[in-house]
Amino acid sequence: MAIALSRRRQEQSAPYWPGFVDAMAQLLLVIIFLLSVFMVAQFLLAREISGQDSALGQLRSQIAELTELLALEKSAKENVDSMLIALTDDFNAEKAKSSSLAAMLAAESEKGGSAGSTISGLRTDLDKEKEISAEALAKVELLNQQIAAMRRQLSQLNSLLADAETRNRTSDAQIADLGKRLNSALAQRVQELSRYRSEFFGRLRQILSQRSDILVVGDRFVFQSEVLFDKGSAILNKEGQMEMLALAEAVKQLETEIPGDIAWVLRVDGHTDVDPILSLQFKSNWELSAGRSIAVVNFLITNGVMPKHLVAAGFGEFQPIDPGSTEEAKSRNRRIELKLTER
């Protein structure tokens, strides 16, 4: 009587609880998928931008060097201008002195006679002043030439600096445009893969629609381990081989339809229950779950599926879909999951 009541309660509650669990699992998987796509997009964008950042860093280094060189040239020009002003003042002083000596010479010439020796000395001094004035003029001319050359260099440096700043702005614009195009391309690839995933899962639903022990949970097909393997074994049984043959045909057809530039894989995940494994072949549930997923992958490869489109993963007992400890919960957790995803 108690067993009958228990079964009646399970039959009354069964239609609601699995549906609720599947809905929550589907929502969680959609969120995880979106987060994965976002992380992949950010990783690719960071890798593309890092190359642009390197070029941009070199360009900014060149701008810094040109700015420093321009500052040095401006400082040298200021020094030359100061020297020119000083020499001009000396030249004007010498010129005034020469004029004074010339006046004195003229005055002495009018006196005549005894002033001859004084006149001779004044003429000598005047000649010396003229030589000094000529040297000062030559120095002033040389400084003017140096100033003209510095002005030309400053003009060239300003032109180079303007070009570097223009290239810097262009690089920033290119990086922004690259990020937009990369995000657009990633979104397009995700949409394409989602479309093929939808077609693939629709095809598998048709193939496996007669099996009540094969479930669709979110974006994954879930096979109970008992369908494919004997207890504690990682060798596909006859029934499991028949199921995997149908899967291999669906995957091979998918390989001909998905464009080659879309990176995709069919991930085969092995899961166990929490009971420890007691086997000479497998030392832990990790090894059992990995062995079963590898067995499925090897069978698919043997039947024509390209190895580059397959991934085998073992999760042991650490990713249960039913947290309960009953035999029914353990049976649900012993499973093989198939997921079409990005590589």
Ordered by where they begin, the domains of the chain are 52-188 (1.10.287.1700), 208-342 (3.30.1330.60)
Alpha carbon dihedral 33, 34, 40, 41, in 10-degree steps, equals 160
Alpha carbon dihedral 173, 178, 179, 180, in 10-degree steps, equals 90
Q: Is the pLDDT of residue 285 over 80?
A: yes
Please name every residue paired with 271 in a beta bridge, in sequence order, or none if there are none. 335
Q: What is the pLDDT of residue 184?
A: 57
Mean pLDDT, the chain, as a whole number? 76
Strand 335-342 relative to strand 310-314: parallel, antiparallel, unpaired?
unpaired
Dihedral sign of CA atoms 200, 202, 208, 213 in order: positive
Average pLDDT over residues 298-305: 96
Q: CB under 8 Å to 183, separation ≥6 — which residues? A: 41, 45
Distance, CA of 42 to CA of 193 (rounded, Å): 18
Report whether 297 contacts 312 (CB < 8 A). yes
Average pLDDT over residues 45-54: 71
**Of residues 218 and 329, more confidently modeled:** 329
Both tokens assigned to 249: 């045909």
**Of residues 275 and 153, more confidently modeled:** 275
Q: What is the pLDDT of residue 287?
A: 95
Q: What share of the chain is helix, strand, coil (3-state, %, to 5)?
A: 75, 10, 15
Distance, CA of 276 to CA of 285 (rounded, Å): 7
Specify which of 92-101, 213-222, 264-273 reaches the highest per-range mean pLDDT: 264-273
Average pLDDT over residues 133-142: 71
Percentage, residues of the chain above pLDDT 70: 64
Q: What is the pLDDT of residue 165?
A: 74
DSSP per residue over 197-248, as a string? Answer: HHHHHHHHHHHTTT-TTEEEETTEEEEEHHHHB-TT--SB-HHHHHHHHHHH
Q: What is the pLDDT of residue 91?
A: 67
**Of residues 168 and 314, more confidently modeled:** 314
Amino acid identity for residue 95 in this structure? K
Q: Map residue 292 onto helix, strand or coil.
A: helix
Q: What is the pLDDT of residue 5?
A: 45
Q: Map residue 283 onto helix, strand or coil.
A: coil
Distance, CA of 21 to CA of 111 (rounded, Å): 131
Q: CB under 8 Å to 176, separation ≥6 — which residues? A: none
**Of residues 343 and 127, more confidently modeled:** 343
Q: Map residue 269 onto helix, strand or coil.
A: strand
For tokens 């700015």, the residue is 67
Specify which of 84-88, 108-112, 200-204, 223-227 reaches the highest per-range mean pLDDT: 223-227
Q: Is the pLDDT of residue 178 over 70?
A: no
Amino acid identity for residue 283 in this structure? K
Distance, CA of 107 to CA of 96 (rounded, Å): 17
Query: What's the number of CA atoms in the CB half-sphere (13 Å) around residue 342?
Result: 20
**Of residues 294 and 100, more confidently modeled:** 294
pLDDT in tens, 233-244: 999 999 999 989
Q: Map residue 221 onto helix, strand or coil.
A: strand
Percentage, residues of the chain above pLDDT 90: 24
Please give the DSSP secondary-structure letter assigned to residue 276.
Answer: P
Specify which of 57-71, 122-136, 203-217 reaches the highest per-range mean pLDDT: 57-71
Q: What is the pLDDT of residue 319?
A: 94
Q: What is the pLDDT of residue 64?
A: 76
pLDDT in tens, 59-99: 777 777 777 777 776 776 677 677 777 767 766 776 676 66
Distance, CA of 253 to CA of 279 (rounded, Å): 38
